[in-house]
Amino acid sequence: MRVISGNLKGRPLKAVPGNGTRPTTDKIKETLFNIIGPYFSGGIALDLFAGSGALGIEGLSRGMEKVIMIDKDRQAIQTIKNNVQSCELDNQVEIYRNDAERALKALIKRDIHFDYIFLDPPYHRQKLEVILHTIEKSNLLKQQGMIIVEHDSDLSLPKSIGGLVCDRKDQFGITALSIYRL
């Protein structure tokens, strides 16, 4: 794994040890950022199932100003910390070990609003509709923001959830990307 573009282009990233985490392939990561960017003039992102932190680090490399990375796995958190430190991004990243639903409650209390929200949960434990409802109801997404969902291509997500509308879906074998906007 590596950073694909931006000021950290080519920087190697470590993967989470074991089989519990499925890293986003470079092809999907490049496609994802070409859809939503490809470069940014600031912005705050949430990487809710951060894994290795590769999506958030890619966003920072391309110009995002801050990313909050959350994962509940201890090894993932250690991998994120190592990757963030090796890329010298410590002052632009907050890292928390928590499950998604509790993390969202904490973020709601902090009254933070995000330009980009990355959701890439383990395929066998997806509660994406519940999470999307929570994000929409609590106004965690800024008005011009985007939610980028990486999911199993067999999973059929609704076209709209409250005020969120899926305006793009791309498929890559067993993986799909769905982009939601307000």
- Give the alpha-carbon dihedral of 87, 101, 133, 145, to 10 degrees: -20
What's the pLDDT score for residue 89? 98
Tell me the pLDDT band of 26, cut-offs 50, 70 and 90: confident
The CATH class given to the 26-181 domain equals alpha beta
Bridge-partner residues for 149, per DSSP? 119, 178
Bridge-partner residues for 63, per DSSP? none
What's the pLDDT score for residue 100? 93
Indicate the domain borders of the chain.
26-181
Q: Quick count: other Cβ atoms within 10 Å of Cβ 90?
A: 10
pLDDT > 90: percent of the chain: 85
Tell me the pLDDT band of 33, cut-offs 50, 70 and 90: very high
What's the pLDDT score for residue 162? 93
What's the pLDDT score for residue 18? 80
Q: Kindly give, in sequence order, each residue whose CB lies less than 8 Å from that of residue 119, ignoring residues fewer than 6 positions away.
A: 48, 49, 128, 131, 132, 147, 148, 149, 150, 151
Q: Over 70: is that where the pLDDT of 21 sits?
A: no
Q: Kindly give, in sequence order, each residue whose CB lies less than 8 Å from that of residue 128, ignoring residues fewer than 6 positions away.
A: 119, 121, 149, 151, 155, 157
Q: Over 70: is that where the pLDDT of 20 sits?
A: no
Bond from prior residue into 38 cis (ω within 30 degrees of 0) = yes
